[in-house]
Structures are given as C-alpha cells and as structure tokens.
C-alpha cells in the first residue's frame, strides 16, 4: 500500500538560487494550473544557498510542501542531484528550473500519457515539457523523468555555479543518452514557458554575477575573494584582458562584454520580468 501511495505522488522539484521574482511567479502558476485528482502533487523546493527569507515565506504561505535549504550554494549540478535523491520514493517527477512559468493545465491524463511514453524499458529518456530548449539534446530546464533512471546515471556534479569547472551533470546525461541510443519526447503544446530573462551565478573564485540572457548585459554583484577572476567566468563571458582590469578595479557597471555583443538580442514580452 505504501508503494502504491508513493507511485501516486508526483513531485514538482524546483531548483532556485536568489530568484525571488521568478520563483514567486512560477509557484503561482503551479497553483493555478496543476489540476490533479488521481495523482498527488508535491511542491519540493530546493533553495541552493543565498538569500532565503523569501523562500521561507513561500513555505509559510503554503506554496511549498517540502522545503530544502542549503546554507551554501552547491551549484546546479549537485543541487539537482540532491533534489532528485530527496524525491527517490516517487517513481516520476517534474524537474523545473526556477525561471519558468506553467502556462497550461496539467491533468491526470497528461501524467498518464507521460508515464506511458517513458514505459518500463527506458528507450525514451524523458519528456521535455519546455519546448526543446536543448535543441535536440537533453536539457535540465524543465522535464518529466523517471527518478530512479536519473539517479542511477553517474555524474560529476558540475554545472552553473561554483562547480562550473567540473563536467556538467547535464553533459553527463547527454552523453549517457547518446551512448544508449535513447530518444526523448517534446510535449506539444509546451507546458512550461521560458521566463529566464536573468541569470544569477556564483563562481568558484567567489565572484557573483547577474546577466540578462537575451541582451547579454551583465554586472558583478560580488568581486572575487582574491584579486583574480576564475578561468570559467572569463571563458563564459569571453572577457578581454582590458575588461578584466576594469572589473578588478570595480569599475565595470552594467554592460555587455565586447565579445558577446554579436549575440545580443531582445525577447519581446520580457520587459516586466
């Protein structure tokens, strides 16, 4: 009986680091659009360090069922893995990075269809519920996946955050899926819309950055512990030697790195996000 009950629990696992506006919008969209009767939704929220008062408020308001608080940021890769292991008693879950909005009702019928697609033989790795943001490859962004399947795949724990220098867990998943010649399904129409206007990151050298994912404008919200930027940060933002000097002098402000200007664009509708 306990196993049957656990099979009916569908966690909605959310990973967050310092995203109060996006997280509130996501939680309200879940409250509006989750329409389950046979299955039992459980909002599992992993706050991966940083400011956490707003997250505790969510729990007090009843927007979150299970709250996991990390004292320090362990990065996207290790944070995702911790959340997945926490949900190990359930067979399937939705994993959602915090900068999304649920824009379509999720019903028992949808869950049945997703489970049927994944099946028992795991020739299909996951259901992408956010419009193929990985461009044909596995993406952590928003997915419905078999929990045991995910947990059994070896990963280095790398990803955005202080462990970006390690092999990213997303890459480990991509390599495994390719090696096993597995496929994935993209749900249409999409359930979760990308609302990721901002990216907030902490780096190995102690630096913290915030950038717009469309225009590429960025700022340093915290300078490195020592007067040196880590290689991963320099590579990610494609910084020149002159730009590094300006940054370490504390004079960067909020602008686009020269080598990222060719990739700058503006997403319509993101003005108020």
pLDDT score at 196: 86
Q: How far is Cα 21 from Cα 96, in angstroms, rounded to an integer?
A: 15
The residue with greater pLDDT, 5 or 234, is: 234
- At 174-213, the pLDDT tens digits run 999 999 999 999 999 999 999 989 999 999 999 999 999 9
Listed range (56-60, 165-169, 226-230, 240-244) with the worst mean pLDDT = 226-230
Other beta carbons within 10 angstroms of residue 272's beta carbon come to 6
Residue 229 has pLDDT above 90, yes or no: yes
The residue with greater pLDDT, 90 or 7, is: 90
Q: Where in the chain is the domain with CATH 3.90.550.10?
A: 2-194
Residue 264 has pLDDT above 90, yes or no: yes
pLDDT score at 55: 97
C-alpha distances out from residue 102 to 110, 130, 187, Å: 14, 9, 13
| Nearest of 159, 163, 198, 157 to residue 18 by alpha carbon | 198
pTM: 0.88
- At 26-65, the pLDDT tens digits run 999 999 999 999 999 999 999 999 889 999 999 999 999 9
Average pLDDT of the segment spanning 134-156: 95
Contacts of residue 139, Cβ cutoff 8 Å, sequence gap at least 6: 128, 130, 132, 133, 170
Fold of 2-194: Spore Coat Polysaccharide Biosynthesis Protein SpsA; Chain A (3.90.550)
């Amino acid at each position: 009986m306990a196993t049957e009950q656990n099979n009916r629990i569908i966690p909605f696992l959310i990973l967050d680091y310092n995203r109060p506006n996006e997280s509130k919008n996501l939680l309200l969209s879940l409250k509006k659009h989750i329409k389950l009767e046979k299955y039992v939704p459980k909002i599992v929220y992993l706050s991966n360090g940083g400011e956490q008062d707003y997250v505790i408020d969510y729990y007090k308001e009843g927007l979150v069922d299970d709250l996991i608080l990390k004292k320090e940021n362990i990065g996207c890769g290790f944070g995702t893995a911790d959340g997945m292991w926490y949900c190990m008693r359930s067979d399937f879950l939705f994993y959602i990075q915090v900068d999304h909005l649920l824009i379509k009702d999720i019903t028992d019928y949808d869950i049945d269809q997703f489970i049927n697609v994944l099946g028992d033989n795991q020739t299909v790795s996951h259901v992408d519920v956010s419009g193929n943001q990985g461009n044909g490859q596995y993406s952590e962004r928003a997915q419905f996946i078999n929990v045991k399947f995910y947990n059994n795949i070896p990963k280095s724990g790398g990803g955005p955050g202080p462990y970006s220098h390690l092999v990213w867990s997303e890459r480990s998943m991509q390599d495994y899926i390719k090696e096993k010649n597995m496929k994935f399904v993209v749900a249409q129409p999409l359930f979760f819309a990308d609302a990721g206007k901002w990216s907030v990151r902490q780096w190995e050298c102690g630096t913290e950055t915030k950038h717009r994912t469309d225009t590429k404008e960025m700022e340093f919200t915290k300078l490195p512990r020592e007067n040196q930027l880590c290689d991963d940060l320099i590579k990610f933002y494609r910084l020149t030697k002159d730009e590094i000097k300006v940054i370490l002098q504390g004079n960067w402000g909020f602008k686009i790195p020269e080598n990222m200007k060719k990739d700058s664009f503006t997403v319509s509708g993101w003005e108020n996000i």
